[in-house]
Amino acid sequence: MVNIPSVRWTAAGARAKKALLSGLRLFARVALAGGLIVLAGFSGCATRSALLPLEQPQRFPREQVTKGAELAHLGNCLGCHTTEGGKPYAGGTPIKTPFGTIYGTNITPDPDTGIGRWPLVAFSRAMREGVDREGRHLYPAFPYDHFTKVTDDDIAALYAFLMTREPVRQENRANRVPVPRAAVGLWKSRYFTPGVYQPDAARSAEWNRGAYLVQGLGHCGACHTPRNKLGAEEKDAAFAGGEVEGWHAPALNASSPSPVPWAADTLQSYLRRGIAEQHTVSAGPMQEVTHDLSHVSDEALRAIATYVVSLDTRSEEQRRRHAEAALERARKVKAIQGNAVYDGACADCHNRGRAEEGGALELPLGTALTIPTPRNLAYIIRDGIVPPEGERGSWMPAFAGMLTDEQLTDLLNYLRALSGEPAWPDVAREVRNISRGDQ
């Protein structure tokens, strides 16, 4: 059934050498600007060989396509490769980075504008090495530093899934990034370690399965790990919390801001349902992740939850004390009255208790109150929590238009105080920036 034409590598030595030289010249400029002096690892900076295009359509076994569908959900491929209201996997989604705006590409099997002419080896090389079929380096906004850990079988299944989607003819949008692609080669030699996930023999099979999914296709660290000035994840601060699209992605390790520490059962349920009554409701960029994960098997979610909870290395005793203090604070807050905005706008749902109809998260337990920035909470209050069009999901009304910047600032400060954490610095400035639309 599987019929993939053989692929030859074009050897264009002279062209490659020329490309290497021009790549280096471009890099020199960027390196000076970025203050990167390490000129290690010249190999890999150059543009790579093109892979010959496919000429015939392919067929795939149904089981492989089904498996690929689940993997596509695990990898949240739609997140970057589909625009709101656009055709699935046809690309065009703007991804704002500190280095400029990159647009998700068309990964439908359209032969001219998508990946219809990409043989499996080209797809695999893009995933594993961050190089497109024509041999150009891909910007690491495409998280190949994670996808490199994915096994051959899973890459082939994902490929089978994508190549059997509806082909959509839609040209890719030109990226607006001042960094030349050739410079990406040097970035890779410094920050990119290729290689499939290697299991840790000291850990359980479930833990290893979780680590494989989280570090690989799930690319959780792409948001939950802080990045350095050149946009690379700080490996020694893995899962210590990061930034994405103006939102803070909370720490998943021992510095987790969740007032009640996560347990594997709760996390597993959250990943599917997008809500955990003692922790959070998924919002912002995480919302589409939990929507994706609602389609994934229990086995995969269980493994992910097992691994993520193991990142919190605090002792059971420490975790228990944290939980008790947080629950006690939540109990007390219900009795507090006196902030007219909270009492009038928030208390009716948030003091009702989750068990009641319309009951919302008890706020002193909410992670948005305890993270280092007020931005998530400000976005949630302004825009509410609204499921993607046509999907089920948690709902909170948007308060945009109701509160002035000053009133929102006061409310954020009040909610922060409820959490028992020290005040956020300069909330007023953050609110001004947010209402100016600055993400």
Partner 1 sequence: MKLDINGRAQEVDADPATPLLYVLREDLKLNGARFGCGLGQCGACTVLADGDAIFSCITPISVLAGRRITTLEGLGTLDKPGPMQRAFIELQAAQCGYCIPGMMMRAQALLERKPAASEAEIRSALQPNLCRCGTHIRIVRAALRAGELMRGKS
Site residues for partner 1 per CB under 8 A:
340-341, 343-345, 348-349, 358, 386, 389, 395-404, 407
The nearest distance, CB 348 to partner 1, in angstroms, is: 7
The nearest distance, CB 338 to partner 1, in angstroms, is: 9
The nearest distance, CB 418 to partner 1, in angstroms, is: 16
Q: Smaller CB distance to partner 1: residue 191 or 414?
A: 414
Tokens of 342: 């909270």
At residue 227, φ and ψ (nearest 5 deg) are: -115, 155
Tokens of 333: 């807050």
State the Cα torsion 334-339-341-343 to the nearest 10°.
30
Quick check: 94 and 101 in contact, CB under 8 A?
yes
Q: CA 400, CA 195: separation in Å to the nearest integer?
A: 46
For 270, the enclosing helix (H) or strand (E) is helix 264-273
B/e letters for 148-178, b = 16+ CB within 10 Å, e = fewer, are: bbbeeebbbbbbbbbbbbebbebeebebebe
Q: What is the DSSP track for 15-27?
A: HHHHHHHHHHHHH
The nearest distance, CB 293 to partner 1, in angstroms, is: 24
Q: Smaller CB distance to partner 1: residue 52 or 386?
A: 386
Q: Smaller CB distance to partner 1: residue 387 or 425?
A: 387
The nearest distance, CB 384 to partner 1, in angstroms, is: 8
Length of the chain: 439
Closest CA to 144 of 215, 53, 199, 240: 215
Q: CA 364, CA 370: separation in Å to the nearest integer?
A: 9
The nearest distance, CB 151 to partner 1, in angstroms, is: 41
Quick check: 334 and 391 in contact, CB under 8 A?
no
Q: Smaller CB distance to partner 1: residue 243 or 383?
A: 383
Q: Smaller CB distance to partner 1: residue 30 or 363?
A: 363
CB half-sphere exposure, 369, CA atoms < 13 A: 24
The nearest distance, CB 404 to partner 1, in angstroms, is: 7
Q: Smaller CB distance to partner 1: residue 162 or 408?
A: 408
Q: Smaller CB distance to partner 1: residue 240 or 415?
A: 415
The single residue listed with the structure tokens 């001004």 is 432
The nearest distance, CB 360 to partner 1, in angstroms, is: 9
Q: Smaller CB distance to partner 1: residue 92 or 242?
A: 92
